A and B are shown apart, each in its own frame.
Chain A
Amino acid sequence: MIPTIAEAASLIAAKKLSPVELMRECESRIAAQNGALHAFILETPERALADAKAAEARQMAGMLKGKLDGIPIGHKDIYSTAGIRTTCHSAQLIDNVPAEDAVTVAKWRDAGVVLMGKLATHEFAFGGPSFDLPWPPARNPWNTECFTSGSSSGTGAAVAAGLILGGTGSDTGGSIRGPAALCGIAGIKPTYGLCSRTGIYPLAQTLDHAGPMAWTSEDCAILLEAMAGHDPSDPGSAARPAPRFDLAQDWRGRRVGLIRHMHEQDNPVSPATLKGIEETAEILRKLGATVVDVTLPSLQEFNAAGWVTLSGEAWAVHEEWMRSQPLKYGEFLRGRLALGGLLSAGDYIQAQRQRRDLIARSVAASADVDLLLTAAAPGEAPRIREVPKWASLEKPNFTIAFNLLGWPALTICTGFGEGGLPVAAQIIGKPWQDGLVLAAGHAVERENGARGKRP
């Protein structure tokens, strides 16, 4: 079985695992599985070998940089990579080769990661699953007829299948937490402002978050520590030092708010998903936390403000191409972007007023708790060919609420449903409590048994 990042880091530090051998293992898994999964849209074998050899040299010299030194990763293809094609999975940017790494890419590079390649995404992180793009959509490794969710679809598939040990995602309305849920891995949307977005193609600037995805919460913590930190070139980046996470928390005295109405009334979830949420609450309760019900604004209210904000801001990013060369986008994306072009300035301002009101009400409603708990997705992955173009308008999702709030939110796998596919829960924290959120995920994963099974 492919190791976690934490396991691999220990083995590499003890000189019991060669970074080159680990890279070769991932390379052979990519060769065997990527033809069915389409998780990678560009492999970088020469770069991977060079990175792995450099890490091995540091290992032999006793000069490892840290836990990410020699760890095979991939980047979502909206992250700029110097000298390596970065397309946003779109014909619009099919020949784009950035001159510089995104700030977060550079941080991981400096930490010693082994870059295996660029990962599939929904087109510009908004248009998928699409079959009319230069590359096919990523497939779910638990069942390749099924959807990965998106937009960080390639990262979700590649991590779950053990093609890489971790990767980057971005999350504007759930694009880290959705694929983490359907692919059965962990993924955190950090607090707004914790990670730089410089060099990551924008979707909606007030909602965009960069974050990591990995098999476990512990691995996400390792990746996020190396990804976070102030970036003066991103106006949304907070001037705070990069965090160090302590996952060994004492849960006695902690309070967890169960947002029952979100997953029982606003968008009722599957029985397996509900069971996983209840078990997550029970594990935290047994560890000493107090679990109480909390009522936040409805998912419908969050979704109205969220989708109008997202659509309006996305239109502003893509307006020029939507007018001059709309047919170079896939059908799903050009339709979704066009909807944003039909909004008025008044619509957008009303959404911002609603957003402010939602933040105020959510802060008040969660004043007495340390963490919140609800679903990350309604159930198991649907079949990829049956995902509707306008799914986000049909039912509210569980994720965009926390993009509007900017609060850290983590998806963890809680088990498996009737179809044998993963189900998940979402753990949310107050701003800058990313470490507490990850600690909760880590504590639950150690107890719930869902990390013992790979696709």
Chain B
Amino acid sequence: MPEPLPPDQFATMMAQAGISLPAAEVEDLRHAHARLAGMLEALRKPAPKLVAEPAFTFSTEK
């Protein structure tokens, strides 16, 4: 699992997203975000053969 972002960097990220939460929750979220970052690393790989843009990802007929 990646290390959590430094608090000041995470605070900037929160501000950019327009999210304002109580301090204790921000700290909890900072650590949860590191877990999510681990998932994101698994997703950031070269696009697979069957590249699909989001609008066409799902079809009710498949």
Whether A352 contacts B54 in the complex (CB less than 8 A), given A308-B40, A347-B43, A393-B32, comes out as: yes
Shortest B17–chain A CB gap in Å is 4
Q: How far is the CB of B39 from chain A (nearest CB, A)?
A: 4
Interface residues in A337-382 by Cβ distance below 8 A to B read: 338-339, 341-343, 347-357, 359-360, 363
Chain A, residue nearest B60 (CB): A193
In the complex, whether B6 has a CB less than 8 A from a CB of chain A is: no
Residues of A within 8 A of B58 (CB): 192, 206, 355, 406
Do A348 and B19 have beta carbons less than 8 Å apart?
A: no
**Stretch of A137-145, A168-176, A273-281, A297-305 contacting B (4+ beta carbons < 8 Å):** A297-305
Given known pairs A192-B60, A236-B60, the reply for A353 and B42 (CB within 8 Å) is: no
- Interface flag for A199 (CB, 8 Å): no
> In the complex, which residue of chain A has the Cβ closest to the Cβ of B32?
A390
Is A308 within 8 A of B35, CB to CB? no
Residue contact A355 to B25, C-beta cutoff 8 Å = no
CB neighbours of A356 from chain B (8 A) = 48, 50-52, 57
Contact (Cβ within 8 A) A393 B39? yes
Please give, as numbers and ranges, the residues of chain A lying within 8 Å of B57 by CB-CB distance: 206, 352, 355-356
Interface membership of B61, Cβ < 8 A: yes
User: Which of B29, B48, B54 interacts with A349 by CB under 8 Å?
Assistant: B54
How close is A323's CB to chain B, nearest CB, in angstroms? 4
Q: Are B60 and A406 in contact (CB under 8 A)?
A: yes
Secondary structure of the A contact surface, majority rule:
helix
Indicate which residue in B21, B28, B35, B48 contacts A394 across the interface (CB closer than 8 Å): B35
Interface centre among B42, B49, B58 (most CB of A within 10 A): B58
> Across the A-B interface, how many residue pairs have beta carbons closer than 8 Å?
106
Report chain A residues within 8 Å CB of B47: 353
Nearest CB in chain A to that of B28: its residue: A335
A142 to B25 Cα, complex, angstroms: 33
- In the complex the two chains form, what is the Cα distance from A308 to B18 in whole Å? 19
A304→B43 contact, CB < 8 A: yes
Whether A347 contacts B21 by the Cβ 8 Å rule is no
**By the criterion CB–CB under 8 Å, are B42 and A389 in contact?**
no
Say whether A334 faces chain B, with CB atoms less than 8 Å apart. yes
Known contacts A334-B25, A338-B21, A389-B28; is-contact A360 B50 (Cβ 8 Å):
yes
Asked whether any CB of chain B lies closer than 8 Å to the CB of A101, the reply is no
**Complexed CA–CA distance, A300 and B40 (Å):** 12
Identity of the chain B residue whose Cβ is nearest the Cβ of A344 in the assembled complex = B40
Q: Which residues of B contact A307 (CB under 8 A)?
A: 36, 39
Measured in the bound complex, the distance between the Cα atoms of B23 and A397 in whole Å is 30
Contact B25 A335 (CB under 8 A): yes
B60 touches A348 (CB 8 A): no
Q: Which of B7-51 contact A (CB under 8 A)?
A: 13-14, 17-21, 25, 28-29, 32-33, 35-36, 39-40, 42-44, 47-51
Are A352 and B52 CB-contacts (below 8 A) given A338-B29, A389-B28? yes
Q: In whole angstroms, what is the CA distance A389 to B19 when docked?
A: 19
Contact B21 A348 (CB under 8 A): no
Is A301's CB under 8 angstroms from B20's CB? no
Contact partners of B29 in chain A: CB under 8 A: 335, 338-339
Q: Which residue of A lies closest to B1 (CB)?
A: A393
On whether A304 and B25 interact (CB within 8 A), knowing A326-B20, A406-B60, the answer reads no
- Inter-chain contact A303/B20, CB cutoff 8 Å: no
Task: Say whether A322 faces chain B, with CB atoms less than 8 Å apart.
Answer: yes
Residues of B near A393 (CB, < 8 A) are 32, 35-36, 39
Within A296-323, which residues are at the interface with B (CB < 8 Å)?
300-301, 303-305, 307-308, 311, 322-323
A-B contact pairs, 13 of them (CB 8 A): A301-B42, A323-B18, A323-B19, A326-B19, A331-B25, A334-B21, A338-B29, A341-B17, A350-B43, A351-B43, A356-B48, A357-B50, A431-B62
The 6 closest A-B pairs by CB, nearest first: A193-B60, A356-B52, A393-B35, A304-B39, A357-B48, A341-B17
